[in-house]
Structure 1
């Protein structure tokens, strides 16, 4: 997976820096993570690519 990420960063415009793509795991204890959804979202602006989805507790 990491090699594929490296290839994408070499060949495409990627709005989130490589150091930020797994930033979630530094903000939340891994034991508290229930689900991680990895997807391809269109980011119209570079600034909008730095969000983490809303977290709801129910």
Structure 2
């Protein structure tokens, strides 16, 4: 059985990190970080779907 090639998954890693950071900032109880976290979350989701369609 062949091992997966890591270079195939680099494009999914970057938006996934943005999504995780966005979730953490939304959970942090301060309005400014929640708004910034929601923005990062939406940016990461958009980027993730863009990479998925390619």
TM, length-normalised to structure 2: 0.24
Structure with larger Rg: 2
Greater length-normalized contact order (CA 8 Å, ≥ 6 residues apart): 1
Q: Which structure shows the higher helix fraction?
A: 2
